[in-house]
Amino acid sequence: MSFQAPKGTFDWLPPRSEWALLVRDALSAPARRAGYGYIETPAFEDTALFSRGVGESTDIVTKEMYTFESRGGQSLTLRPEGTASVVRAVIEHGLYGGALPIKLWYSGSYFRYERAQAGRYRHFSQVGAEALGAEDPALDAELIVLAADGYASLGLKNVRLLLNSLGCKECRPAYRAALQDFLRGLDLDETTRQRIEINPLRVLDDKRPEVRAQLVGAPLVTDHLCGACKAYHEEVRGLLGAAGVAYTDDPRLVRGLDYYTRTTFEFVHDGLGAQSAVGGGGRYDGLSEMIGGPPLPSVGWALGVDRTVLAMEAEGLITERAGHVDVFAIPLGEEARRRIFPLVSELRRAGLAVDMAFGGRGVKGAMKAADRSGARYALILGERDLEAGAVQVKDLTTADQTAVPLAEVVEVLKGKLS
């Protein structure tokens, strides 16, 4: 019997997997430099945390959660997103009692039972950042700038930022009612009609052309913002402009999670087909209270690692060079292996990336492996070299070869590679 990775999942394999690590690192680096501390939460939580936190009427909660009963009879769910867990941890540990805002970043696996297709998986990876406990347009702008800088640091040119405000608990109800009035007059199927009553904003997100065509005249949230929300949004826009981050206002941008208020945004990449969102986020002022915590106005984002690698591939930014070593050691015979093994360890401890030939293959196979490794230098140790107390250092780009005394190899290679 043979096994395959479950539908909607895939394995990251070298050398491509190096890019996943690199993306994770690059997307989190700007937040780490801006005072965000690392948080790690469990991959599963109480089911109720997500049904309450993400929203009972969302696709995620109604259709996409991996929910199971533990042996102890508790309903648990593999996390479909990161924000609810972070807010839960902040409340549980009373972090809101200290200095505000609490700035946190995280990275890990997320699970949604989605219709699997290119760029949409059932197990995927995100880098996230959250700033909790402050209502300040500069904080919304900070997070957006950090995400934009993360994409830019990877060399991505075609990431676009879409920006919107969803209003607050003062102005959203009137907008919601106006939108419901408009939507009830449209020709829609029964499921969508039900959605109008539960979560009308989500109808704006419908991707079907026959629905989209009818939505052209829908009331826009930006026309219904209260004075405070309007001023807040203007401030965020101004700060983004001042920091040199370009954006497009998208009054139809709603997000798939219920907890958003005011600022919402999405980063999209046009080279990815239907699954164009590489990241997104927004402000969620009511979430803490929804899951039993104190008022804690907050803002955050989650950026998709898998789709960011796809975006880099679409822009031709993925080269073969990732994950190479500097030096490849080739022992010819057992005595040579005994001697070269500690030398390889020593080189690695000196900070060089070094691999060696294993399995006692002949020199030809070992040279092939050296080429494949991407190493700049091969270290070849034969019987005659052993007698002479030296090793051959071969430059694999020029094929020049010189004998270097074993005692000097570490220094010589460090010098060549610095």
Give the binding site for ligand AMP (CB under 6 A). 81, 112, 114, 120-121, 124, 126, 256, 277-280, 302, 304, 306-307
Q: Would residue 377 be called left, alpha or beta, if left means φ above 0 and alpha means ψ between -120 and 50 degrees?
A: beta
Backbone angles phi, psi at 130, to 5 degrees: -135, 140
Q: Which of 131, 130, 84 is nearest to 110 (CA)?
A: 84
Nearer to ligand AMP, 224 or 307 (CB): 307
Q: Smallest distance from the beta carbon of 215 to ligand AMP, in angstroms?
A: 21
Which one-letter amino acid corresponds to residue 222? T
User: How many other C-beta atoms are found inside a 10 Å radius of the C-beta of residue 260?
Assistant: 28
Q: What strand order describes the sheet that includes 327-331?
A: 354-356, 327-331, 377-381, 390-395, 401-405
Q: Smallest distance from the beta carbon of 269 to ligand AMP, in angstroms?
A: 9
Give the 3-state secondary structure of residue 269. Answer: strand
Nearer to ligand AMP, 24 or 112 (CB): 112
Q: Smallest distance from the beta carbon of 60 to ligand AMP, in angstroms?
A: 8
Nearer to ligand AMP, 120 or 176 (CB): 120
Nearer to ligand AMP, 81 or 285 (CB): 81
Q: Give helix then strand counts, H and E, for the chain.
A: 16, 16
Nearer to ligand AMP, 278 or 390 (CB): 278
Nearer to ligand AMP, 43 or 231 (CB): 43
Interior/surface letters 352-373, b for 16+ CB within 10 angstroms, e for the rest: bbbbbbeeeeeeeebbebbeeb
Please name every residue paired with 45 in a beta bridge, in sequence order, or none if there are none. 77
Q: Smallest distance from the beta carbon of 43 to ligand AMP, in angstroms?
A: 16
Nearer to ligand AMP, 89 or 226 (CB): 89
Q: Are 163 and 249 in contact (CB under 8 A)?
A: yes
- Alpha-carbon distance of 317 to 304, in angstroms, equals 17
3-state percent helix, strand, coil for the chain, nearest multiple of 5 = 40, 20, 40
Q: Smallest distance from the beta carbon of 81 to ligand AMP, in angstroms?
A: 5
Please name every residue paired with 329 in a beta bridge, in sequence order, or none if there are none. 356, 379
Q: Smallest distance from the beta carbon of 413 to ligand AMP, in angstroms?
A: 41
Nearer to ligand AMP, 101 or 282 (CB): 282
Q: Smallest distance from the beta carbon of 126 to ligand AMP, in angstroms?
A: 5
Type and span of the H or E element at 280 = strand 277-283
Q: Smallest distance from the beta carbon of 74 to ligand AMP, in angstroms?
A: 25
